[in-house]
Amino acid sequence: MIRMSIDRGQWPQLSRLLDAALDLPPAERDRWIEALDSSFDALKPDLRDLLSRASSVETRDFLNSLPAVSSGSSDSVTDAADHAGRCIGPYRLTRELGAGGMGSVWLAERTDDSVRRPVALKLPHVMSARIGLAERMVRERDILATLVHPNIARLYDAGISPEGRPYLALEYVEGVRIDRYCREQALDVQGRLRLFLQVAAAVAYAHAKLVIHRDLKPANILVTRDGEVRLLDFGVAKLLDDGRAEMTRLTELSGRALTPDYASPEQILGQSLTIASDIYSLGVVLYELLAQTRPYRLSRESRGALEEAILEVEPVRMSGVAPPGMQKALRGDLDTIVLKALRKQPEDRYATVNAFSDDVIRHLRRLPVLARPQSTWYRVSRLIARNRVTAMVVTVASIAVLVGAIVALWQARAAVAEGRRAEEVREFIATIFQEANLDSDQSRPASVLELLKQASNRVDALEAEPAVRVELLTLIGSGLLSLDDTDALENVARRAVDEGTQSLGSDHPLTVRARILMVWAHMYRGRTQEAGGEIDALMQVMTRDESAFGEELIELWRIRADQAIDAHRYEDAEAAAMQALTRAEASFGAQHPESLRALGVLSTAYRRQDKHAEALRTAERGRDLALKLFPDGQHAMAIFARAEYGRALAEAGDVAGGVEQLSLATRDAEKLYGPTARTVGFHLQNITQYHLQLGSIQAAVVSSTRAFDIMKEHAEPDTFNYAAALNAKTQALLAARRGEEALPATAQIQEAAKRLFGDTHPNAVGARASHALALGLSGRVDEGRALIDAVLADARRTQKPSARPFYIAGDLERLAGRHARALARAEEALALLNGGDGTAAELARVQMQVGLARVETGAAEAASMLDQALSGFRESQSEMTPAQADALVGRARLHLDAGRADEALPLLIEADQFWRDFDDQSRWAGEAALWLGRCLRTLGRGPEAADVLDRARRTLSHSPILNDRELVTRI
């Protein structure tokens, strides 16, 4: 039999020898042992003993451990006799539920007048004369008879058939294995813990009856349709004697009945068992339910490697191997609880199952658990968790978000925060949050930004090593990055970089992380060139030793993609984003937050290249992953993923759907960060362009004005981000034809674009065209025409010019009264748009312009072009716009020219009402009123016509356009 004196320290070497021997044919094993070096002499007896019991060593389930007992023909009962319909005692077999080496289990029912109910009938394969198995059956009957608990499958009956075959009639449980049930029901962490507590209650009850199970595993734990647990198979259980279960002659005959994956170290060594053995097995079961894998990573797949791991290797923390969506919930308390249950020494585990389950319950109630020391840091983290649903919900939730971000970052980088430095970092952060005094009755606890600023100031006075100070500043800066405070972020990041460079060196890992934080500050300030230079420098440092900068290198590839997008190098952005995604999925898996971040940047890169199908597919994948990782949506990554999905949706053609998604993302960002956060500004800026596409001009003015007011607090005036926000506002003002308001901004944007991109870059060309339009709308038509002529000359030299400068040129020529030139410019724009570029609303706008120019010049097909424009506006825009009102006026004029004033009237009433609601002081309001008045006069409605024409005269007399003032004299 297996020796009971195997030394724990010898086991790893013995296990490797056993693996090697088992790979040999049985006939060669003795010769191989004799040939071993003399240094192995002390292990040879144990090795021979183990090899002599190879079948027991390789067993993986009790039912497969048939003892080696010889049997005569007179004692045998064959499986062939078992079939549906056969009777065993008072039970008729219905169908086989399962079978193993020891016996089978059948669904059966009684044939006599007793209670008719289905039972699970347990039958051995051999006669009762085989003493070992009969003893087991009797023992299981005796044990189960003492256990009456709602979570333990009950014993209904036991006996011996007329053929001498023992049987047990057990409660038939219609259920599935607990691990499968958790998967199929997609239970969250709390749901799995509550299910586990039912198992623990059953085991604790058995222990109170002095019974240990000794084979706890998911296969022996079923869950019913109603979510009730049933614990099965006490066939290997042992009644305790003074708390210990010794080996018996039965165990020697049958082999050690255990399932190695769930066996405790003392079971592996064949030592006496206590309730601590069941606690260990429960720990493995809980580990597997939560992490969805088992505790040990094996270097080789063998029984020996598994037993070596159980005896010698510390389990991996669940939070490091669980699916990404569960890692955060497992980090901390649950990791600690389960690792305590899995301690190698029985005395180091929980003293009882009740103590184990009590800690699980304390965790569910957000109370400190007993498995870990009561440090300041730990007490503060529990204090914050308990207060998330108090009246201080907004502040506390913000603090909780920050704590989560900082703790997660710190834990991810714990490998570089060793020893005393690690403890200094933890206690410093704990002290800061403890000062928030969340359990007090103060009406207003410290806000998260106040806490961070306090922390930042205290670092200066902290007597600590430079490494501690740099790490603390970087952690605080990461919190500020998450909370969108650009000023504070840059201040802290610069201090961290300066101290790290001076004290540790610019290439030290802590300094590198601080430099990455500074790159983010450059990006948010709009300093694209500074960001690009630092990214290149950091890439050189990190690629020299990629193993030291795994997560940071992925982040840097993402930043490089963002920076390339800002610099309009979209192919470079796509390549960098693909690098980030590939590396993230290889390092963390496809269901990890790092992969989610990379998906968002990749979708943006696709969008900017007009790869709309790829962008939407990628963004949708990111949106779905974000909802899986952050179901409540209140997380920075979930907000970003939803916003990116909205942009991809809009640019793929569903503009209204895109605005809806972006609006939801903006709402969530306001809740998480506050109404003036940088992220809110970015989302509002993006919403503006889609409002313009939908024709929601007034909404675009509101959203763009608010976006700019936010962004100017975060970005410097000479940066791209500042100019982009200002440009969104000017585009809305130009769409509303408020040229004088837009003019100062367009001048500023024109200079910024020239400085950032150069004269011929599409952004610079577009900025100059906008300024030309603003000049014209402000009454400086000739200046605008001169500028737009220069812009068109540059645009024509490009390989793929935008249509926008051409139709802006058409607007300016029309304002100047040069309608033939207006028609030529508009037709050039139409030709470019007919090539496939531009939105449906943009195409309708140019069709309107061509139609109006044809009306003015008397060219053919004006009506057809205006009808196409009106149809395009109605299909693509949810509200009437100035351009659509222009088309209505133009179409009405054609009706008037044809003598159909009655058909012109409703079109002119609609256009006039639009302008009265939209901007009754606009010169276009005056123009619409002018044509409505003429129509009314034609229809013989003199008094009405006089009132409307008088309104037109007053409006046009204040127009900055010279031709309008001349027009007034002809009314």
List, by residue number, the catalytic residues. Answer: 215
- The amino acid at residue 771 is H
Sequence-ordered alpha helix ranges (H) in 331-447: 333-341, 353-364, 376-386, 393-412, 419-434
| Residue 850, C-beta contacts closer than 8 angstroms, at least 6 positions apart | 823, 826, 827, 830, 865
- The Cα–Cα gap between 675 and 684 comes to 11
Residue 154 in contact with residue 168, Cβ under 8 Å? no
- The Cα–Cα gap between 563 and 555 comes to 12
Strand partners, 91: 88, 110
Which has the closest alpha carbon to 883: 826, 966, 828?
826
Which has the closest alpha carbon to 528: 484, 568, 492?
568
- The Cα–Cα gap between 773 and 779 comes to 10
Strand partners, 122: 105, 168
Is 611 known to sit in a ligand binding site? no
C-alpha Rg value of the chain to the nearest Å: 39
Q: How many CB atoms lie within 10 A of CB 870?
A: 20
Sheet-wide strand order for 166-171: 87-88, 91-99, 103-110, 119-124, 166-171, 155-160
As given in the structure block, the two tokens for residue 500 are 């790290």
- The amino acid at residue 44 is K
- The Cα–Cα gap between 643 and 666 comes to 8
How far, in Å, are 45, 314, 770, 800, 869 from residue 823 at the CA level? Answer: 103, 80, 20, 21, 15
3-state SS string over 767-810? HHHHHHHHHHHCCCHHHHHHHHHHHHHHHHCCCCCCCHHHHHHH
CA angle 60, 61, 62 (to 5 degrees): 135
Secondary structure (3-state) at 13? helix
Residue 894 in contact with residue 857, Cβ under 8 Å? no
CA angle 821, 822, 823 (to 5 degrees): 90
Q: How many CB atoms lie within 10 A of CB 685?
A: 23
- The amino acid at residue 334 is L
Burial per residue of 136-145, b for 16 or more beta-carbon CB atoms within 10 angstroms, e otherwise: bbebbbebbe
Which residues define the annotated binding site for ATP? 122
Which residues define the annotated binding site? 122
